[in-house]
Amino acid sequence: MVSSKDKRINKLKKKRIWPSVIGLLFIVLIFGVIVALLLAASIFDVTQRKLGYAANDSVKIAELFKDYSEENAASRQELVKTYLDINTDIEQVSLITKDGEQLWASGNEYPNLDFSYRFDFQKYEEFSDIRIVVEEDSNDMLEFEDGEVTLTTNILDSVNIMPLLIDDDFFAVLDDNVIVGFKIWYVIPVNDIQVLALNHIQIYATDLFMMIISLIVFAVILAFFVLYYIVSFISFLISMRRTSKILYTDMVTGGDNWLQFVKKATSKLKWNRRRRHKNNYAMVHLRIYKYRSFCTCFGVREGEGLIEQFYLNLKEKLSKKEAISHHENAEFGLLLTYTDEQELVARLESIQQGLNAILPSMKMHFGIGVYLIAQGEKDIDLLYNNALLACEMSGEENESRIAFFNVEMNKQKLWERKVEDDMDRALINHEFMVYLQPKISTGEERLAGAEALVRWIHPTEGFIPPNKFIPIFERNGFILKLDDYMLEEIARQQAEWIANGRNIVPISVNLSRAHFTREDLAEHICSIVDRYNVPHNVIELELTESAFFDDKKALLDTVSKLRNAGFIVSMDDFGAGYSSLNSLKELQLDVLKIDADFFRGSGSEERGMLIVSEVIGLAKKLNMKIVAEGIETREQVDFLAEQECDLIQGYFFAKPMPIHEFVEKY
Ligand code: C2E
Ligand code: CA
Ligand code: CA
């Protein structure tokens, strides 16, 4: 199906050259025909006139022979000769009898009377008796057939006249040259004899002077038109080239843009199909992590310069069968050939190394998503999207990695889209439910606290556990709203319980690391809690160590403000992921939550327990309370009690539960 985007692009690409060429030819043709017609018409007109003059002159001479007799023969002949000296158009006069016998002639020509023809002198009625005999060899243009001359109009036929004009040097024509010349006999019957006058009809360029002047003017105008047309046509072609260059060039790298990439990649895959899939092709998405931070530090221009360098470096490593384009911001699309996955991974790794060598002083991280193209697949945007998805689904931006696309990723992406579509509505409709998981004291094993954990009761999907949406909210920022919502729910709940005179315990809420970009986070939290007038020490805030990676100073400031304001602040998931004892040194916290991971796994339990007891000892020395998470067995509870761990949170005592259930049980 052709999308409207494709239509728009095609419209831009369409080169409308033919109409221009045809238009130009048409103009030239029209002008040519007009010129030919004008020329023919004027030659015709001049010829007609000259034929008339010649007839006139011939009749005048014939009149001299009206009373011709033997006596006056000599004097008349002298008279004719004198006349011929004056009139240069008549070359010879002859007298012949009706039988064709020549009585006298002023020259040596003799007409071939078989070729006589009555000229149609409609205009010159007075000469209706005149016969014209055309000299066969006087003009090449005349055609004789079976003793009949088929000329009259043929003489004047533009088709016959034009070759004369073209044969001669055109400018010489202007210089008094004869354009049309032919000899004809006028045969005038006088009494018993016939007077023949051989007329040399010649049409000179000067006869057509006005005509030629107008032709020149005409030609100049035509030339102007044609020139104008050609110039605008050339400039049209130039602008077409420029448009298509703009259409296909990436402004940052100066190389192919995405449109061109799609075009090239499509034709390469097509070529490969025709060669029975000689090569394996992979679509690769490559992105530079923290490009924005780079631009913030060094400026956008530097950033774009870097993209250009990367582009050139990548392009150098491609073969002719492959293609590359800068896509967006710091992303590239590559169409690569490969022999097997191992070889492809090795190549991509070396590509990464090559890019890293461009800025040796800085360690850059790259995300690479790969989609192995199957036979017959050709929708480049879709293929690229799969590669991009593979990259996006594969994890955080903190290290380089190469991820291959799999079908699960597609499902996950669809789920993400659904979550994002529904989340705002869910917040308004209170679809997010607070569940509480008790924290039980070791020793007396009594309720000593609780953790608020969110559950999504979706109208169509039903119960959704947090691991299916929290990571998505962390990526898209919605987690900020959700955490605020949970905090407010807990503050409200505590206020209600206080008002009802219930014995309350501190309830903790989770605070995602995304909050710590906010400078006024402590004030913001106070403002939410203070709406319900609850003492701050019944609210505990759980934050994970990963918040440390972003802005250490901001974290330390906020934590100290929160503790000064009376909130209990705890470190969640200690021992999971990137924990380091170092963070305990700098961060002054109230509670340490030991991650459930310590109590899981097989074989290394003993070592795990050893570490737990050491961590507990350390935390005690730092004046922190200890909560152990994910406790599922009596043995674990007893062990923790022995180690003087303060609180226990886990399925052994209770799973997270809705508030009404929590109220019933505790
Ligand atoms: P977390 O903060 O570490 O929460 C503890 C998780 O451990 C909870 O999972 C809880 O149900 C589970 N758990 C407790 N005891 C046991 C046990 O004995 N065995 C096992 N297998 N699991 C146990 P849950 O509720 O699925 O929450 C998962 C994570 O989602 C939480 O880990 C927390 O990081 C996040 N989360 C939940 N609610 C919120 C929230 O409102 N805001 C934020 N930012 N994150 C939340
Ligand atoms: Ca927690
Ligand atoms: Ca935890």
Determine contact, residues 261/325, Cβ cutoff 8 Å.
yes
Residue identifier of the C-alpha nearest atom 45 of ligand 1: 510
Q: In percent, how much of the chain has pLDDT > 90?
A: 48
For residue 4 and ligand 1, the question of a CB distance below 6 A is answered with no
Which ligand has an atom closest to residue 432 CA? 1
Q: In percent, how much of the chain has pLDDT > 70?
A: 86
Q: What's the distance, CA 52 to chain centroid?
A: 73
Determine contact, residues 401/368, Cβ cutoff 8 Å.
yes
Domain annotation covers residue 413: no
Residue identifier of the C-alpha nearest atom 33 of ligand 1: 510
Domain annotation covers residue 233: no
- Paired strand residues for 371: 283
One domain for residues 25 and 161: yes
What is the pLDDT, as a whole number, of residue 204? Answer: 80
For residue 512 and ligand 1, the question of a CB distance below 6 A is answered with yes
For residue 631 and ligand 1, the question of a CB distance below 6 A is answered with yes
Q: Which atom of ligand 1 is nearest to the CA of 435?
A: 25
What is the pLDDT, as a whole number, of residue 143? Answer: 42
Which one of 211, 231, 248 terminates a domain? Answer: 211
What is the pLDDT, as a whole number, of residue 276? Answer: 87
What is the pLDDT, as a whole number, of residue 549? Answer: 67
One domain for residues 385 and 460: no
* Strand ranges in 351-408 using DSSP code E only, listed in sequence order: 366-372, 401-404
Domain annotation covers residue 226: no
Residue 443: pLDDT over 50: yes
Ligand 3 centre distance from Cα of residue 556 (Å): 20
One domain for residues 336 and 462: no
One domain for residues 168 and 289: no
Q: Which atom of ligand 1 is nearest to the CA of 631?
A: 18
Residue identifier of the C-alpha nearest atom 19 of ligand 1: 630
For residue 486 and ligand 1, the question of a CB distance below 6 A is answered with yes
Instruction: Determine what percent of the chain falls in helix, strand and coil, rounding each to the nearest 5.
Output: 50, 20, 25
Q: How many whole angstroms separate alpha carbon 525 and alpha carbon 559?
A: 12
Domain annotation covers residue 349: yes
One domain for residues 429 and 566: yes
Which one of 357, 382, 405 terminates a domain? Answer: 405
What is the pLDDT, as a whole number, of residue 172? Answer: 43
Domain annotation covers residue 364: yes
One domain for residues 496 and 641: yes
Q: Which atom of ligand 1 is nearest to the CA of 453?
A: 38
What is the pLDDT, as a whole number, of residue 602? Answer: 60
* pLDDT category of residue 119 using cuts at 50, 70 and 90: very low
For residue 489 and ligand 1, the question of a CB distance below 6 A is answered with no
Ligand 3 centre distance from Cα of residue 383 (Å): 39
**Pocket residue to mutate for ligand 1, from 510, 636, 655, most atoms within 8 A of Cβ:** 510
Residues sharing a CB contact under 8 Å with residue 514, sequence separation 6 or more, in sequence order: 474, 477, 479, 480
For residue 577 and ligand 1, the question of a CB distance below 6 A is answered with no
For residue 575 and ligand 1, the question of a CB distance below 6 A is answered with no
Ligand 3 centre distance from Cα of residue 572 (Å): 5
Residue 156: pLDDT over 80: no
Ligand 1 centre distance from Cα of residue 590 (Å): 20
Number of domains the chain contains: 3
CATH number where 550 lies = 3.20.20.450
Domain annotation covers residue 223: no
Residue 157: pLDDT over 50: no
**Pocket residue to mutate for ligand 1, from 453, 457, 464, most atoms within 8 A of Cβ:** 453
Ligand 3 centre distance from Cα of residue 141 (Å): 112
Domain annotation covers residue 234: no
- The arithmetic mean of pLDDT across residues 374-396, rounded, is 90
> What one-character DSSP code corresponds to residue 256?
B
This model's pTM is above 0.75: no
For residue 470 and ligand 1, the question of a CB distance below 6 A is answered with yes
Q: How many whole angstroms separate alpha carbon 534 and alpha carbon 569?
A: 16
Domain annotation covers residue 434: yes
Residue identifier of the C-alpha nearest atom 34 of ligand 1: 510
Ligand 2 centre distance from Cα of residue 570 (Å): 9
Which ligand has an atom closest to residue 649 CA? 1
More confident residue, 399 or 30: 30
- The arithmetic mean of pLDDT across residues 579-603, rounded, is 81
Amino acid identity, position 607:
R
Count how many Cα atoms sit within 13 Å of the Cα of residue 210 in the half-sphere of its side chain: 3
One domain for residues 179 and 310: no
Ligand 1 centre distance from Cα of residue 311 (Å): 44
Ligand 1 centre distance from Cα of residue 463 (Å): 15
Query: In Å, what is the CA distance from 542 to each residue of 53, 149, 192, 269, 567?
Result: 123, 120, 144, 53, 11
Determine contact, residues 324/261, Cβ cutoff 8 Å.
yes
What is the pLDDT, as a whole number, of residue 142? Answer: 39
Q: How many whole angstroms separate alpha carbon 144 and alpha carbon 314?
A: 82
Q: Which atom of ligand 1 is nearest to the CA of 542?
A: 2
Which ligand has an atom closest to residue 453 CA? 1
Residue identifier of the C-alpha nearest atom 8 of ligand 1: 453
Residue 17: pLDDT over 80: no
Q: Which atom of ligand 1 is nearest to the CA of 593?
A: 3
One domain for residues 202 and 328: no
Ligand 1 centre distance from Cα of residue 565 (Å): 26
More confident residue, 642 or 409: 642
Residue identifier of the C-alpha nearest atom 41 of ligand 1: 454
Q: What tens digit of pLDDT does each residue of 296-334 get?
A: 888 999 999 999 999 999 999 999 999 999 998 899 999
Q: How many whole angstroms separate alpha carbon 396 and alpha carbon 403?
A: 12
Which one of 382, 405, 428 terminates a domain? Answer: 405
Ligand 3 centre distance from Cα of residue 472 (Å): 18
**647-649 and 625-629 strand pairing:** parallel
CATH number where 267 lies = 3.30.70.270
One domain for residues 503 and 636: yes
* pLDDT category of residue 146 using cuts at 50, 70 and 90: very low
One domain for residues 504 and 640: yes
Which ligand has an atom closest to residue 627 CA? 3
For residue 595 and ligand 1, the question of a CB distance below 6 A is answered with no
* pLDDT category of residue 467 using cuts at 50, 70 and 90: very high
Which ligand has an atom closest to residue 511 CA? 1
Ligand 1 centre distance from Cα of residue 574 (Å): 14
One domain for residues 324 and 275: yes
- The arithmetic mean of pLDDT across residues 339-348, rounded, is 96
For residue 657 and ligand 1, the question of a CB distance below 6 A is answered with no
Residue identifier of the C-alpha nearest atom 16 of ligand 1: 630
Angle (nearest 5°) at CA 420 between 418 and 424: 115
- The arithmetic mean of pLDDT across residues 413-418, rounded, is 91
What are the helix (H) ranges across 299-340? Answer: 300-316
What residue numbers bound the domain in which 510 lies? 419-665
One domain for residues 348 and 497: no
Neighbours of 35 (CB within 10 A): 16
Q: How many whole angstroms separate alpha carbon 327 and alpha carbon 540?
A: 45
Return the minimum-mean-pLDDT range out of 160-169, 378-387, 575-584. 160-169
Ligand 3 centre distance from Cα of residue 508 (Å): 11
* pLDDT category of residue 211 using cuts at 50, 70 and 90: confident
What is the pLDDT, as a whole number, of residue 151? Answer: 35
Ligand 3 centre distance from Cα of residue 471 (Å): 15
Ligand 2 centre distance from Cα of residue 510 (Å): 5
For residue 437 and ligand 1, the question of a CB distance below 6 A is answered with yes
Ligand 2 centre distance from Cα of residue 22 (Å): 77
Q: Quick one: tokens of 83?
A: 């006349």
Query: In Å, what is the CA distance from 511 to each residue of 18, 66, 139, 480, 542?
Result: 68, 137, 112, 8, 6
